[in-house]
Structure 1
């Protein structure tokens, strides 16, 4: 069966078609099953010519890829499914030697459009801050958007998942109020020594991304890899409490509240599947926050800092 995916950027007036393949069939199917959806479009800030967005696909957090390649050597237009919950597209030179999981390829006749879109998206993330939304759908079918909600047996934990899911939906395509306030210098705790704001933004970015990518995502993987439930509870307390408390102080009060409620309720969870469901929703929420922070962050302030020398 041919599975073609259209990835469009309506504000840019561009779109490309990609064909999913069988190199990592389970992951490709997970993305296919989640369509259609919309997501804030991001651009790599360190690795090079690479687009990515947070995909609302819980399976990306734990499904193992069976075929990996060096992203640097993959053809332009390769689609990747990342365990950071990203759908990525290479459109030019990459410098980061990261093993990556390919799931498809942009059609050759659309590569020029991909490059054009990539450069415009870079400008939106780095300089103009114009929000670009990616619309991902099965080619030839209607678009739309949905975030899957998982359920668990305990009513209190299920209610927490409902609250996290609702907040994730609320901020999915619109900047979170607390992050927007922070970037405009409205920080109720007065975090930022000597009234600085950039310092706080740097630390918030530095704590938010690993909390989503490493902590909550890692706990989902550990649950699926059959770590004992008591160990999962212990690791969650060790890994999540301190960064969530710090981020709450900096202004991300909802994140702190959700994490506090989750940690307080861990003893109510009696199986790994329910533990994984809770952590998956926290991961998606925090990964969404991280995506917005990268969009809002004033990267252009460092425009005068340029790499010396060139690649050999």
Structure 2
């Protein structure tokens, strides 16, 4: 069966078609099953010519790719599914030697459009700060958007998941007010020594990304890899409490509140599946925050700091 995916950027008036393949069949199927959706489009800030966005696909957190390649050596236009909950597309030179799971390829006739779109998305992230939304759909079918909602047995934990899901939906395509305030310099706690703001922004970015990628996402993987439930509870308390508290101090109060309630309710959870569901919703929420933080961050302040020997 041919499975073609259209990835479009309405703000740019561009779109490309990619064909999914069987190199990582389960990952490709998970993405296919989640279509259609929309997401804030991001761009690599360290690795090079690479686009990625947070995909609302819980399975990406724990599904392991059966076939990986060095992204640097993959053809331009390769689609990747990442356990960081990203759908990525290589469109030029990459420098980071990261093993990645390919799931498809942009059609050759659309590669020029991909490069054009990549340049515009970089400008959006680095300088103009005008968000660009990616629309991902099955080629030839209508678009749309929804975020998956998992359920668990305990009513209190299920209600918390409902709140996290609702908040994630609310901020999915609109900048969260607390992050926007932080980037505007409104920090009620006074975080930022001697009234600095950039220092706080750097630390918020440095804590938010690993909290979603490594902590909550890692706990989902651990649950699916059969770590005992009591060990999962213990690791969640060890890994999540301190960064969430710090981020709350910096202005992300809702994140801190959700994390406190989740950690406080861990003893109510009676199965690894329910634990994984709670952590998956927290991961998606924090990964969404992380995407917005990257979009809002004033990267252009680094114009005067260039790699030695860099051409541009």
| TM-score tier after normalising by the smaller chain length | over 0.9
The answer for the alignment partner of 1:161 in structure 2 is: 161
2:95 is aligned with 1:95 = yes
Distance between the aligned counterparts of 2:64 and 2:302, measured in 1?
Answer: 37
| Structure 1 segments (4+ residues) deviating >3 Å | none
The answer for the alignment partner of 1:138 in structure 2 is: 138
Distance between the aligned counterparts of 1:61 and 1:244, measured in 2?
Answer: 20
Distance between the aligned counterparts of 1:301 and 1:222, measured in 2?
Answer: 39
Residue segments in structure 2 that go unaligned for 5+ positions in a row: none
Q: C-alpha displacement at 1:52, in angstroms?
A: 0.1
Distance between the aligned counterparts of 1:137 and 1:146, measured in 2?
Answer: 12
Distance between the aligned counterparts of 1:62 and 1:232, measured in 2?
Answer: 15
Give the TM-score normalised by the residue count of structure 1: 0.99
Q: Deviations over 1:271-302 (max 9, x none)?
A: 00000000000000000000000000000001
Alignment of 1:225-244 (within 5 A): 225-244=225-244
Q: C-alpha displacement at 1:310, in angstroms?
A: 5.5
2:276 is aligned with 1:269 = no
The answer for the alignment partner of 1:28 in structure 2 is: 28
Distance between the aligned counterparts of 1:131 and 1:98, measured in 2?
Answer: 27
Q: C-alpha displacement at 1:85, in angstroms?
A: 0.1
Alignment of 1:1-312 (within 5 A): 1-309=1-309
Distance between the aligned counterparts of 2:166 and 2:188, measured in 1?
Answer: 24
Aligned residues: 311
Q: Deviations over 1:117-168 (max 9, x none)?
A: 0000000000000110000000000000000000000000000000000000
Q: Deviations over 1:174-193 (max 9, x none)?
A: 00000000000001101001
Distance between the aligned counterparts of 2:246 and 2:308, measured in 1?
Answer: 35
SS of equivalent residue, structure 2 residue 267: helix
Distance between the aligned counterparts of 1:303 and 1:126, measured in 2?
Answer: 10
Distance between the aligned counterparts of 1:11 and 1:243, measured in 2?
Answer: 35
SS of equivalent residue, structure 2 residue 240: helix
Distance between the aligned counterparts of 1:305 and 1:226, measured in 2?
Answer: 46
Give the TM-score normalised by the residue count of structure 2: 0.99
Q: C-alpha displacement at 1:63, in angstroms?
A: 0.5
Q: Deviations over 1:19-50 (max 9, x none)?
A: 00000000000000000000000000000000
Distance between the aligned counterparts of 1:153 and 1:237, measured in 2?
Answer: 21
Q: Deviations over 1:93-125 (max 9, x none)?
A: 000000000000000000000000000000000
Distance between the aligned counterparts of 2:194 and 2:308, measured in 1?
Answer: 32
Residue segments in structure 1 that go unaligned for 5+ positions in a row: none
SS of equivalent residue, structure 1 residue 304: coil
Superposed CA RMSD: 0.7
